[in-house]
């Protein structure tokens, strides 16, 4: 571990509690993702009209040398491959289980097929989406037609028919709010749904630093990573310190070690095909060293008890475990759960919790310095991103520089950094 640590920020991908492991070694975990099975219908319930045929082909991931079969509710194998084809001349409810057996495990997923004499199409759209002028937005509806492949689609944009395709690609040349409606019809009737699309102006190149001033201990290196948005075409980067250009610095991140205590101004100029933008940040190199800020454990210190400074779960299945109406109440409730060795759910991607110990964490060479326990199972492992911070300015708050710990995905080419996700409240299940 790089330093004596006082704070942890855990930004997890899914449901996690507070404890994992880190040592001074680089731990690159092997890829042992569990077998996953998904369907085009997320609810797992299909409607089918009598006499018609339904074909279901699941998507299977992470299975090594898989073998597939479909079993009905009596335990009889009805298909031995990936795809199930089913039809019935009589009404009823039918259950089938899709089975995957592979060298690295197994998986089972059940679906239900409701066979009806009449199936009126059902249509589900997102309640609202947004985009920018000139950018294409693809709208994929959730539609059930009872296996009727001849069902007709009609898309209307502000009451004007614009397409008869099953998927609609939207773009607008000016700002505004648009109403998009889809009607799907078959011989039994029709169903429809509508949504709002908000179009804003396209954004120009922007550059900014998350904070106006960064403090760093004497002798320590700080990574300066500005937020750069909406670049167009080839882009160049020029860094300078107190007005002096740094010749060999031409990337989006600068590793800067101040030569002496005091203030310095670090600037970045970004130039793309259209324009140039610049931003600056003040770096305050403190007189204190890492050893000066070390807080030894005392007789009353605890390795398990933490103070929760922030708790912000993303939408998730178990976030109701925290029964609170204010941010402060949520932090205290999270503290109570952690003190009782209970999990704290962070929800889906982007959920995070910031906690602090009442003492510095010692850097023990070659050994574990702290642990974070997650809810990993044979078929479910939900890792997170861990950041650490020392109380460099000594004010007892987590307002200094965060350092991200290396993880199993750190050096993978498909790993993305510095991006965001926006959650929209769905209008219906699925």
Give the total number of structural domains in the chain: 4
pLDDT of residue 27: 36
pLDDT of residue 363: 83
Phi-psi region of 95 (alpha: psi -120 to 50; beta: other; left: phi over 0): beta
Q: Which of 38-42, 73-77, 129-133 is least confident?
A: 38-42
CA distances from 47 to 53, 60, 91 (A): 11, 23, 11
- Assess whether 266 and 335 both reside in one domain: no
- Assess whether 140 and 184 both reside in one domain: yes
Domain end (from 165, 200, 235): 200
pLDDT of residue 380: 66
HSE-CB for 293 with a 13 A CA cutoff: 25
- pLDDT tens for 177-234 read 999 999 999 999 999 999 999 998 777 789 999 889 999 999 889 889 899 988 878 8
d(CA 200, CA 69): 49
Kindly report the length of the chain.
430
- pLDDT tens for 366-389 read 998 988 887 777 766 677 889 998
- Is 304 within 8 Å of 339 (Cβ atoms)? yes
Does some domain include residue 397?
A: yes
The three-state secondary structure class of 78 is strand
Does some domain include residue 418?
A: no
- Assess whether 306 and 393 both reside in one domain: yes
- Assess whether 333 and 383 both reside in one domain: yes
The single residue listed with the structure tokens 């993702």 is: 33
Phi first, then psi, for residue 287 (nearest 5°) are -70, -30
Does some domain include residue 301?
A: yes
45, exposed or middle or buried, with CB in 10 Å at 0-12, 13-18, 19+?
A: middle
The single residue listed with the structure tokens 């998507």 is: 59
Residue range of the domain that includes 263: 219-285
- 37: which 2 tokens? 């099975």
- Assess whether 383 and 300 both reside in one domain: yes
Does some domain include residue 45?
A: no
- 223: which 2 tokens? 């990574």
- Assess whether 150 and 223 both reside in one domain: no
HSE-CB for 74 with a 13 A CA cutoff: 4
**Any idea what DSSP says for residue 421?**
-
- Assess whether 55 and 22 both reside in one domain: no
The three-state secondary structure class of 335 is helix
Does some domain include residue 393?
A: yes
- Is 104 within 8 Å of 35 (Cβ atoms)? yes
- Assess whether 375 and 299 both reside in one domain: yes
pLDDT of residue 83: 95
d(CA 220, CA 261): 11
d(CA 85, CA 278): 60
- 387: which 2 tokens? 């950041």
Look up the CATH number of the domain holding residue 137.
2.60.40.10
**Residue 317 contacts by C-beta under 8 Å, 6 or more apart in sequence?**
15, 345, 347
- Assess whether 326 and 259 both reside in one domain: no
Does some domain include residue 412?
A: no
d(CA 94, CA 146): 14
Does some domain include residue 188?
A: yes
**Any idea what DSSP says for residue 146?**
T
Cα three-residue angle 225-229-234, rounded to 5 degrees? 95
Give CA 340 to chain center in angstroms.
28
Reply yes or no on whether the pLDDT at 14 is more than 70.
no
- Assess whether 165 and 73 both reside in one domain: no
Reply yes or no on whether the pLDDT at 148 is more than 70.
yes
Domain end (from 140, 170, 200): 200
Chain mean pLDDT for the chain: 86
- Is 312 within 8 Å of 334 (Cβ atoms)? no
Does some domain include residue 38?
A: no
- Assess whether 144 and 195 both reside in one domain: yes
d(CA 311, CA 289): 30
Which pLDDT band, with edges at 50, 70 and 90, does 422 fall under? confident
d(CA 120, CA 106): 37
CB 386: neighbour CB atoms within 10 A?
Answer: 20
Q: Closest Cα to residue 9, out of 355, 317, 240, 247?
A: 355
pLDDT of residue 13: 38
- Assess whether 398 and 307 both reside in one domain: yes
Phi first, then psi, for residue 323 (nearest 5°) are -95, 90
Domain end (from 65, 84, 116): 116
């Amino acid at each position: 571990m790089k330093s004596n640590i006082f704070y942890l920020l855990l930004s997890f991908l899914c449901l996690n509690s507070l404890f994992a492991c880190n040592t001074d070694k680089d731990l690159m975990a092997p890829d042992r993702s569990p077998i996953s099975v998904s369907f085009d219908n997320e609810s797992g319930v299909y409607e089918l009209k009598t006499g018609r045929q339904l074909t279901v082909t699941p998507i299977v991931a992470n299975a090594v040398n898989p073998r597939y079969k479909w079993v009905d509710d009596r335990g009889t194998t009805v298909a031995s491959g990936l795809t199930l084809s089913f039809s019935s001349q009589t009404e009823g409810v039918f259950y089938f289980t899709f089975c995957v057996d592979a060298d690295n495990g197994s998986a089972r997923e059940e679906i239900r097929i409701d066979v009806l004499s009449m199936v009126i199409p059902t249509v589900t759209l997102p309640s609202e989406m947004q985009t920018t002028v000139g950018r294409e937005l693809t709208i994929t509806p959730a539609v059930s037609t009872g296996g009727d492949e001849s069902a007709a689609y009609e898309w209307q944009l502000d009451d004007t028919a614009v397409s008869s395709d099953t998927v609609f690609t939207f773009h607008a040349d000016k700002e505004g709010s648009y109403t998009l409606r889809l009607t799907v019809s078959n011989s039994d009737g029709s169903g429809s749904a509508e949504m709002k699309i908000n179009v804003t102006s396209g954004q120009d190149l922007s550059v900014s630093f998350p904070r106006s001033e960064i403090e760093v201990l004497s002798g320590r290196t700080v990574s300066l990573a500005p937020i750069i948005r909406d670049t167009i075409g080839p882009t160049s980067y020029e860094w300078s310190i107190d007005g002096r250009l740094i010749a060999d610095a031409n990337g989006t991140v600068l590793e800067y070690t101040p030569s002496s205590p005091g203030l310095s101004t670090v600037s970045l100029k970004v130039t793309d095909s259209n324009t140039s933008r610049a931003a600056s940040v003040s770096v305050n190199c403190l007189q204190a060293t890492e050893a000066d800020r070390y807080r030894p454990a005392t007789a009353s210190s605890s390795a398990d008890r933490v103070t929760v400074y922030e708790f912000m779960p993303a939408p998730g299945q178990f976030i109701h475990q925290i029964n609170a109406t204010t941010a402060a109440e949520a932090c205290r409730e999270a503290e109570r759960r952690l003190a009782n060795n209970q999990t704290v759910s962070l929800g889906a991607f982007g959920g995070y919790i910031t906690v602090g110990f009442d003492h510095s964490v010692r850097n023990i060479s070659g050994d574990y310095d702290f642990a974070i326990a997650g809810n990993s199972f044979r078929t479910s492992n939900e890792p997170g991103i861990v950041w650490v911070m020392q109380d460099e300015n000594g004010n007892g708050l987590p307002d200094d520089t965060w350092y991200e710990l290396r993880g199993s995905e750190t050096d993978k080419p498909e790993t993305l950094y510095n991006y965001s996700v926006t959650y929209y409240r769905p209008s219906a299940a699925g």
